[in-house]
């Protein structure tokens, strides 16, 4: 007989299936090899062998004669969550006084029916399903290693209390709360009962009773052959893995009569017929179609578009941090200034904001205040005057950094401004700030002891104010001091009908943005307008060079 190669890899394997788990079928084959006493009295020439020749072993007779052949070997096909009773459960549930729960009485009725119909089909192989006590107990007694003297760590003890929700559990109906939402001082029992992983999970154990002949039904002889776990996402965990082309697994019992058993686990789930696969494919297609329609109904079929010739600007921003300032407890006041010409925003849109007060933290040589304050706004650009040669102005973000200490002393730490990026995408901007100062020691003493300092009446004076109409803006005599920096993170999005046009020259040009082909390839709105003017001049020159009889009264070419 050929030598048997044992499979020593007893780790778990993970599979994923879209089929219902109720179609899962496993064939388990269990066979007794011999008493393991033969393993300890091998000839000297064979002691070094890792592989054992099974032909050298023969089943040993018992005191009452030979073992029956069905006791030496057993093979059975098991379905998912199929309950096979052990001899211990048969003896237990035949006594009605041992039944405590409705499940116990249900098992008793099933065992009585089996006894009346000729007995159970299994002998040594049995199962524990997800509803049995063994499943719950096993979840609290998992071992992290195979060492016999394993000492559970703090993490192991905590994870032992983590349970998984059963798939058949349902929440309580109604809106009345049965308990407090927050428990400020939870007990150990409360933590153990409420620490639950949300992923629904079902467990099943395939067991074997490896007790001596005619001594079945003792808990100490029960051994786990395979553990299966299935969650609601179709993930199947098998431990150990299916045998397949590998060798059988081995179990060596302990006690006075040590015995060696081998077993295999094979997946014998029936293959779906072509008609069933096609029907399943149609069902999935219909299901996905309905789900898509449902999502579309939530979102809506009408996509909000901008008016022709308009550019819509979305900005999702964040005030990240501020650093390099003299005092602590900083906060930032910021606002966005839209140029008066061609720019507008919705009436409900808020273009300003104030961050929370933040304590600074030493980072290298600087003190940094981390705000992580989000803000968002949108604006519209509409270029109505096509004959204008002036390039449009872009919105400007102004910021003012202030400090407020424990005694409510208020100080201005700096002013800054930056033009919003003209290209869509993510941008990180660092704004350098400054503040006005007064000459002399008195002003600094007043700033230190009682707070207060020079302030700008108009924050837009940081740059050129929008209300300024002159040719030159003089800041002569304004004394300033460089202070720290403010970091902004901006995510800019732009929307326009011009992005969808494949060939704008084939259509009648109505506005600045709609006339330009490939607007998304331009780096900024300035380049877009400049390219539009060049295209317009080329078209005008081409129209003037054509014969007059090819041009219609409406100004379009006659085919």
Q: Which residue has the higher pLDDT, 478 or 113?
A: 113
Query: Is residue 549 pLDDT above 70, yes or no?
Result: no
Question: What are the sequence ranges of the domains in the chain?
Answer: 1-42+70-84+121-138+188-271, 310-385+392-498
The neighbour count for residue 35, using CB atoms within 10 Å, is 17
- What is the pLDDT, as a whole number, of residue 356? 92
- What is the pLDDT, as a whole number, of residue 77? 93
Report pLDDT digits (tens) over 440-477: 777 777 777 667 777 787 777 788 776 777 778 777 77
Specify the DSSP class assigned to residue 252: E
Report pLDDT digits (tens) over 125-163: 999 998 887 755 555 566 667 676 777 777 777 666 666
- What is the pLDDT, as a whole number, of residue 543? 64
How many residues comprise the chain? 559
Q: HSE (CB half, 13 Å, CA atoms) of 166?
A: 13
* 26 CB-near residues (< 8 Å, 6+ apart): 77, 78, 79, 206, 226, 228, 265, 266, 267, 268
Structure tokens at 208: 């074997």
- Give the integer Cα–Cα distance in Å for 327 and 325: 6
Specify the DSSP class assigned to residue 467: T
Confidence band (pLDDT; 50, 70, 90) for 198?
A: low
- What is the pLDDT, as a whole number, of residue 237? 93
The neighbour count for residue 271, using CB atoms within 10 Å, is 7
Query: Is residue 480 pLDDT above 90, yes or no?
Result: no
Report pLDDT digits (tens) over 7-61: 888 888 999 887 888 889 999 999 988 654 444 434 444 444 444 454 444 444 4
Region 241-265: what's the mean pLDDT?
A: 86
Instruction: List beta partners, residue 93.
Output: none
Region 51-73: what's the mean pLDDT?
A: 53
- What is the pLDDT, as a whole number, of residue 208? 92
Query: Distance between alpha carbon 372 and the CA centroid of its chain, in Å?
Result: 22
- What is the pLDDT, as a whole number, of residue 335? 92
Quick one: the chain helix, strand, coil %, rounded to 5?
25, 30, 45
- Give the integer Cα–Cα distance in Å for 91 and 221: 15
Query: Distance between alpha carbon 261 and the CA centroid of its chain, in Å?
Result: 44
Confidence band (pLDDT; 50, 70, 90) for 98?
A: confident
- Give the integer Cα–Cα distance in Å for 354 and 315: 17
Pick from 375, 439, 441, 437: nearest CA to 412: 437
- What is the pLDDT, as a whole number, of residue 515? 40
CA distances (Å), origin 465, targets 259, 343, 470:
94, 16, 11
- What is the pLDDT, as a whole number, of residue 541? 63
Structure tokens at 356: 């929370």
The residue to which tokens 């060049």 are assigned: 534
- What is the pLDDT, as a whole number, of residue 271? 82
- What is the pLDDT, as a whole number, of residue 504? 46
The neighbour count for residue 247, using CB atoms within 10 Å, is 16
Measure the N-to-C terminal CA separation of the chain; round to a whole number of Å. 92
388: helix, coil or strand?
coil
Q: Which helix (H) or strand (E) holds 105?
A: helix 102-116
Structure tokens at 521: 């390839």
Q: 310-385+392-498 is classed in which CATH architecture?
A: Sandwich (2.60)
Region 65-80: what's the mean pLDDT?
A: 76
Region 514-528: what's the mean pLDDT?
A: 42
The residue to which tokens 């069902």 are assigned: 283
- What is the pLDDT, as a whole number, of residue 417? 92
- Give the integer Cα–Cα distance in Å for 138 and 11: 17
Query: Distance between alpha carbon 335 and the CA centroid of its chain, in Å?
Result: 35
Question: Of the given ranges (290-304, 321-335, 361-375), which has the lowest mean pLDDT?
Answer: 290-304
Percent of the chain surpassing pLDDT 90: 23
Question: For all residues of the chain together, what is the average pLDDT?
Answer: 76
- What is the pLDDT, as a whole number, of residue 474? 76
- What is the pLDDT, as a whole number, of residue 545? 61
């Amino acid at each position: 007989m050929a030598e048997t190669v044992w499979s020593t890899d007893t780790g778990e394997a993970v599979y994923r299936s879209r089929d219902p788990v109720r179609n899962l079928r496993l064939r388990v084959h269990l066979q007794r090899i011999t008493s393991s006493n033969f393993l300890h009295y091998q000839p000297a020439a064979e002691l070094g062998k890792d592989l054992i020749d099974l032909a050298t072993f023969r089943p040993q007779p018992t005191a009452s004669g030979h073992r029956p052949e069905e006791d030496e070997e057993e093979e059975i096909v098991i379905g998912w969550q199929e309950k096979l009773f052990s001899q211990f459960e048969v003896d237990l549930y035949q006594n009605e006084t041992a039944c405590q729960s409705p499940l116990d009485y249900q098992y008793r009725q099933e065992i009585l029916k089996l006894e009346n119909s000729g007995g159970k089909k299994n002998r040594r192989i049995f199962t524990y399903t997800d509803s049995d006590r063994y499943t719950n107990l096993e979840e609290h007694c998992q071992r992290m290693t195979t060492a016999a003297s394993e000492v559970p760590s703090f993490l192991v003890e905590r994870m032992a209390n983590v349970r998984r929700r059963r798939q058949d559990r349902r929440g309580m109906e109604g809106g009345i709360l049965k308990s407090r939402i927050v428990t400020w001082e939870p007990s150990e029992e409360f933590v153990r009962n409420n620490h639950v992983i949300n992923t629904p999970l079902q467990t099943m154990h395939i067991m074997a009773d490896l007790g001596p002949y005619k001594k079945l039904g003792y808990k100490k002889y029960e051994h786990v052959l395979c553990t299966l776990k299935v969650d609601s996402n179709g993930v199947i965990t098998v431990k150990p893995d299916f045998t397949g082309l590998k060798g059988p697994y081995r179990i060596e019992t302990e006690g006075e009569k040590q015995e060696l058993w081998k077993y295999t686990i094979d997946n014998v789930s029936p293959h779906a017929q072509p008609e069933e696969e096609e029907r399943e494919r149609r069902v999935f297609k219909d299901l996905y179609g309905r789900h898509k329609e449902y999502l579309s109904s939530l979102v809506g079929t009408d996509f909000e578009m901008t008016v022709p010739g308009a550019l819509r600007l979305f900005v999702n921003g964040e005030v990240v941090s501020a650093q390099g300032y003299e005092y602590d407890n900083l906060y930032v006041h910021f606002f966005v200034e839209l140029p008066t010409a061609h720019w507008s925003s919705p009436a409900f849109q808020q273009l300003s904001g104030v961050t929370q007060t933040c304590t600074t933290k030493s980072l290298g040589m600087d003190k940094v205040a981390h705000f992580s304050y989000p803000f968002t706004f949108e604006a519209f650009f509409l270029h109505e005057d096509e004959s204008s040669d002036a390039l449009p102005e872009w919105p400007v973000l102004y910021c003012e950094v202030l400090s407020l200490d424990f005694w409510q002393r208020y100080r201005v730490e700096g002013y800054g401004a930056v033009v919003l990026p003209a290209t869509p995408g993510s941008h990180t901007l660092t704004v350098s700030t400054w503040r006005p100062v007064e000459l002399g020691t008195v002003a600094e003493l007043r700033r230190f002891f009682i707070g207060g300092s020079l302030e700008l009446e108009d924050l837009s004076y940081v740059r050129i104010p929008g209300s300024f109409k002159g040719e030159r803006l003089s800041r002569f005599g304004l004394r300033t001091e460089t202070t720290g920096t403010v970091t902004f993170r901006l995510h800019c999005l732009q929307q326009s009908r011009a992005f969808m046009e494949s060939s704008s020259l084939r259509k009648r040009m109505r506005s600045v943005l709609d006339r330009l082909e490939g607007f998304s390839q331009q780096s900024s709105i300035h380049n877009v307008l400049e390219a539009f003017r060049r295209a317009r001049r080329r078209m005008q020159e081409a129209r003037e060079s054509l014969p007059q009889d090819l041009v219609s009264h409406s100004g379009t070419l006659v085919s």
